[in-house]
Amino acid sequence: MKKFIVIAFALTLALTAVSSPALAAIEVEGDAYIGVYDKYLWRGFDLSGSKSVAQGGVDLTAGNFTLSYWTNVQLSSDKGEGFKSGEATENDFILDYSRDINDLVSISVGDIYYMLDGLDDTHELYLTVSLSTIFEPSVTAYYDWDEADETGLYYTISIGHSFDLMEKLGLSLAALAGYNQESDYAVGDYSGWHNYELSASVEYAITDQFSISPSFLFSSGISDDAKDAIDSEMLSGVAINFTF
């Protein structure tokens, strides 16, 4: 099953890349960002011992391809959980290919390489299908093809909407729900709805290239298995973004 999914993913990536028109010249654009948050939440899991963290990254895009780097740095020590201040607990590298299928449908395929402090590193393939319509619904399937012993699949469905409050100031609202299909290494050895997230962020454009964005997120478990693994959590922070 795992080999079949890997082969299908590789074929999808190859076909979408071949079908895109050749670029006469490669132009690279991107962004860099850094933020400070009161904790690190991932799929409802508190991965910083409820201590503050700094998170930042860089995205480089050429045509339909994007190469990204992301890191999480512990800002406060937690002896109980073994987290040390100033320690980078996670570094991720993501290779993504995105394109519009038509005016309504777009897809993204890629691989996330998780470099984890104190844990075995792993990979997740993902496929996202998004609709350019009201609430911008999207569905993403993740597949841990590296460390998962069971199915290793995880899915999310999300909706969102952005509003212009005034010149240079916007508000974004979003909701997400995750479903775990025995992604035993990353989430848990069970199948069922995992967690839901409600989030809001405000973005203020300081200049054409710099923006600042405070944000808030609430996460809670859905199924009994999820509630045994995660607690209801709130996350808040602020990030600065630079586009180039």
Structurally, how many domains does the chain consist of? 1
30-66 confidence digits (pLDDT tens): 999 999 999 999 999 999 999 999 999 999 999 999 9
- Which residues form the domain of 36? 2-21+28-243
101-129 confidence digits (pLDDT tens): 999 999 999 999 999 998 999 999 999 99
Q: Tell me what the pLDDT averaged over the chain comes to.
A: 91
Report the CATH number that the domain containing residue 66 is assigned in CATH: 2.40.160.40
136-148 confidence digits (pLDDT tens): 999 999 999 999 9
- Average pLDDT score over residue span 197-210: 97
Q: How many CB atoms lie within 10 A of CB 194?
A: 29
Q: How many CB atoms lie within 10 A of CB 164?
A: 9
